[in-house]
Amino acid sequence: MKLEILAKTDGRNLQKTIISKIRDHINLKNLEPGDKLPSERMLSEKFGVTRSNVRDAIQKLEFYGLLESKPQSGTFVANIGVIAMNGMIDDILRLEEPGFKSLVETRILLELKTVRLAALRRTEEDLKTMKEALEAYNQKVIAGEDAVQEDLLFHLAIAKASRNSTMNNFMLLITPKIITNFEKYHVCDKNLANQGIEEHIAIYEAIKSQDPKLAKQKMKDHFNVLYQYCYNIKKSS
């Protein structure tokens, strides 16, 4: 496990080094929005790293909208000024890998918004998708099996029903890390799974009734244990 952590840390440090070198190249060559970067092969030779290392760094900068890759054409500086670009890259270089608690906190904040929007915007097809995820969760819980993935699929269905692609994308981004770490951090007692069935149904019914205020409250009730985990809140009697 320690070797795995060290490998991940070394990988992140290398990526940050390459991102820093790409920024320096852009500044040194006075590249402007729309200007083309050297090929991945040329950059890998220039920086003394592999092409896959360069590709990963470019994809990271693409994710934040600082570079743009065009098939059969190459990679270009995005339509953003040099001052803003340097500032954003500095922020990217300072970013740390999010801890599990921060991911859970982000999930809470996102879902209190998405559930309200889902109650206002849901379609019959959305309700069908939620119902299917709900039934899959129920079957796993009743069978005494782990249902973390089915639980999160239900919540992803709600995010999709919100019709806000940005919040939906954020949910899709953080969900895999939450799934892989949920058991590791022992966030929720397995005995609470049956309670989760009732809470999910209450959320579903509020969305079905198109009652955003009630939907938000039912989601807050459902997140009671997560609130305690994130904010060290003592459970109310």
pLDDT for 177:
78
Q: Which residues contact 146 (CB under 8 A, 6 or more apart)?
A: 140, 183
Tell me the per-residue pLDDT of 25-66, one tens digit each, with 9 for 90 and over. 999 999 999 999 999 999 999 999 999 999 999 999 998 999
Written as one letter, the residue type at 15 is Q
Instruction: Please determine, for residue 230, whether its predicted confidence score (pLDDT) is greater than 80.
Output: no
Tell me the per-residue pLDDT of 145-167, one tens digit each, with 9 for 90 and over. 888 889 889 999 999 999 999 99
Average pLDDT of 171-192?
70
8 Å CB contact between 160 and 176: no
Q: How many residues does the chain have?
A: 237
Instruction: Please determine, for residue 6, whether its predicted confidence score (pLDDT) is greater than 50.
Output: no
Tell me the per-residue pLDDT of 195-205, one tens digit each, with 9 for 90 and over. 889 999 999 99
Residue 236: pLDDT band by 50, 70, 90 thresholds? Answer: very low
If phi over 0 gives left and psi between -120 and 50 gives alpha, with beta otherwise, what is residue 37? Answer: beta
pLDDT for 195:
86
pLDDT for 2:
41
Q: Which residues contact 204 (CB under 8 A, 6 or more apart)?
A: 127, 130, 131, 134
Instruction: Please determine, for residue 188, whether its predicted confidence score (pLDDT) is greater than 60.
Output: no
